[in-house]
Amino acid sequence: MKRTRIIDALKRTDFGAEINVKGWVRSKRGSKGIFFIALNDGSTIKNVQIVGDDANFPEETLKRVTTGACLSVMGKLVESPAAGQASEIQATAIEVLGDCDNTYPLQKKGASWEYLRTVAHLRPRTNTFGAIFRIRHNMAMAIHTYFHEHGYYYFHTPLITASDCEGAGNMFQVTTKNLYDLKKDEQGKIIYSDDFFGEQTSLTVSGQLEGELGATALGAIYTFGPTFRAENSNTPRHLAEFWMIEPEIAFMDQEELMDLEEDFIKFCVRWALDNCRDDLEFLNKMVDKGLLERLEGVLKEDFVRLPYTEGIRILQEAKAQGHKFEFPCEWGDDLASEHERYLVEEHFKKPVIMTDYPRSFKSFYMKQNQATADGGSIGYKGAVAPGPTMQGTDVLFPSIGEIIGGSVREESYDKLMAEINRREMDMTHLWWYLDTRRYGSCPHAGFGLGFERLILFVTGMQNIRDVIPFPRTPKNAEF
């Protein structure tokens, strides 16, 4: 007989039908010669209850029905007398497909997140991680749906690259060389000409630069793939391997970019509420009691659009009124997560799109705001900044901080080159990027959304290691 997934079995109302379900035992209890097995197959957070009379089954089989064991159950679908479930299965035959003894690491309820990370190979079998990974899947579907329906093309950018998009230098090298026997030139520099690619290569930190090639040909593209950063930052929001979504759009300006960022995030959150109800309700009950309210709340809010300079003024004011920050926040400083969270969680109490950042800590490719005679610049809606600024537009979220990093791109070849020269960047490996500005250059913009940061927000989880099946962080590449 064909197996019925538990999610489908629980929807059926043809009581009396013979069905077969397969799954893993979540719990087994007994009372007055009757046993009750909660069986889960991962298709839904819900278990199906299997009921049977001890007397009708071999004692040997029932002994093997332990927490974690894998079963195939034949039985009759019946209306359930128990509260909280419409149906259950009256077992007629039970086959143990896989035994599970008492060394099974997931026996105890209430294990810590830290402990569960040490058993990442099994934690998807828990209720919480099952819910998280089903939501993760659904968010991926939301993203593809959004862009597909809005006329964007899914554009595949390389993972192995010879260029450093963000220029931060925190890349993982890719080589087939014997590291104990590296050839060096007279200056002591490694010679890569005999390496696999004939030059120094790394894993990409962002597909943006190639994404711009796509956008300036197809009009609007998006990427969705893994990215790698060798940042030695052991925080609850950083991974060495994470997934990023990077749309890039020709003819888009700053205001339209912010509209897109806001509309896109709201679409994803609404998708979760519409498509992941059972899992969200579970997380709302067990992990974060404010989750559903926070998700609904984001849909109602208009995101604040805030020039960086204005943000600094608010932070300075908070400081003057006695608010303590660990890190400095003078004009020109990159914002620390405590600053972002102050603005989002305490000051505005809603998501903020920050724009017009000083060029000192932003990337070379961002569109430069118009300079003023006194060394300042004019940005979003005519806002004046005391120094040179660029049209970076990051989205800051409650409890997450930066969820999106984006910008309008500098389309002028001369301005872009001036910035590249000012930074003394080596463009040998980026000659092709400059061609976009040389041949039919156009205004364009885009952003990168950290997929795991979105999942953090949507699940209410606190640590980014718990929203990706097998996290990669400093000193940890197990599983």
Number of Cβ within a 10 Å radius of residue 348:
18
Of the residues 369, 447, 456, 460, which one makes contact with ligand 4AD according to CB under 6 A = 447
Of the residues 128, 202, 204, 208, which one makes contact with ligand 4AD according to CB under 6 A = 208
Cβ within 8 Å of residue 329, ≥6 positions away: 312, 315, 316, 319, 335, 336, 339
Cβ at position 167, least distance to Mg ion in Å: 12
Residue 231 contact, options ligand 4AD, Mg ion, none, Cβ 5-8 Å cut-off depending on partner type? ligand 4AD
Q: Is 358 in the site for Mg ion (CB under 5 A)?
A: no
Q: Position 371: which residue type?
A: A
Q: Is 165 in the site for ligand 4AD (CB under 6 A)?
A: yes
Residue 208 contact, options Mg ion, ligand 4AD, none, Cβ 5-8 Å cut-off depending on partner type? ligand 4AD
As a whole number of angstroms, the distance between CA 185 and CA 227 comes to 31
Q: Is 433 in the site for ligand 4AD (CB under 6 A)?
A: no
Cβ at position 394, least distance to Mg ion in Å: 6
Choice between 75 and 405, CB closer to ligand 4AD: 405
Of the residues 42, 119, 124, 231, which one makes contact with ligand 4AD according to CB under 6 A = 231
Choice between 87 and 407, CB closer to ligand 4AD: 407
- Residue spans of beta strands (DSSP E) within 304-387: 304-307, 352-358, 370-371, 377-378, 384-385
Q: Position 129: which residue type?
A: F
Cβ within 8 Å of residue 267, ≥6 positions away: 142, 146
Burial class (CB in 10 A: 0-12, 13-18, 19+), 391: buried
Cβ at position 250, least distance to Mg ion in Å: 22
As a whole number of angstroms, the distance between CA 57 and CA 73 comes to 12
As a whole number of angstroms, the distance between CA 167 and CA 359 comes to 13
Instruction: Show the DSSP H helices in 333-374 as ranges.
Output: 337-341
Binding region for ligand 4AD (CB under 6 A) out of 67-75, 97-105, 235-243, 338-346:
235-243
Of the residues 41, 88, 164, 166, which one makes contact with ligand 4AD according to CB under 6 A = 166
Number of Cβ within a 10 Å radius of residue 179:
8
Binding region for ligand 4AD (CB under 6 A) out of 145-153, 275-283, 371-379, 446-454:
446-454
Q: Is 147 in the site for ligand 4AD (CB under 6 A)?
A: no
Choice between 24 and 267, CB closer to ligand 4AD: 267
Of the residues 68, 311, 405, 406, which one makes contact with Mg ion according to CB under 5 A = 405
Binding region for ligand 4AD (CB under 6 A) out of 39-47, 113-121, 241-249, 342-350:
241-249
Q: Is 450 in the site for ligand 4AD (CB under 6 A)?
A: yes
Residue 459 contact, options ligand 4AD, Mg ion, none, Cβ 5-8 Å cut-off depending on partner type? none
Q: Is 402 in the site for ligand 4AD (CB under 6 A)?
A: yes
Q: Is 255 in the site for ligand 4AD (CB under 6 A)?
A: no
Cβ within 8 Å of residue 264, ≥6 positions away: 146, 247, 449
Q: Is 19 in the site for ligand 4AD (CB under 6 A)?
A: no
Choice between 195 and 248, CB closer to ligand 4AD: 248
- CB environment 258-297: b (16+ within 10 A), e (fewer): bebbbebbbbbbebbeebbeebbebbbeebbeebbebbee
Q: Is 392 in the site for Mg ion (CB under 5 A)?
A: no
For ligand 4AD (CB under 6 A), the number of binding residues is 23
Cβ at position 455, least distance to ligand 4AD in Å: 10
Q: Kindly write down the DSSP assignment for every residue of 236-292, as one continuous string.
A: TT--SEEEEEEEEEET--HHHHHHHHHHHHHHHHHHHHHH-HHHHHHHHHHT-TTHH
Q: Is 401 in the site for ligand 4AD (CB under 6 A)?
A: no
Burial class (CB in 10 A: 0-12, 13-18, 19+), 381: exposed
Report CA Rg, the chain: 27
Task: Tell me, rounded to whole angstroms, the distance of Cα 244 from its chain centroid.
Answer: 7
Q: Is 446 in the site for Mg ion (CB under 5 A)?
A: no
Which residues make up the interface to ligand 4AD (CB under 6 A)? 165-166, 206, 208, 229, 231, 238-239, 242, 244, 246, 402-407, 446-448, 450, 452-453
Which residues make up the interface to Mg ion (CB under 5 A)? 405
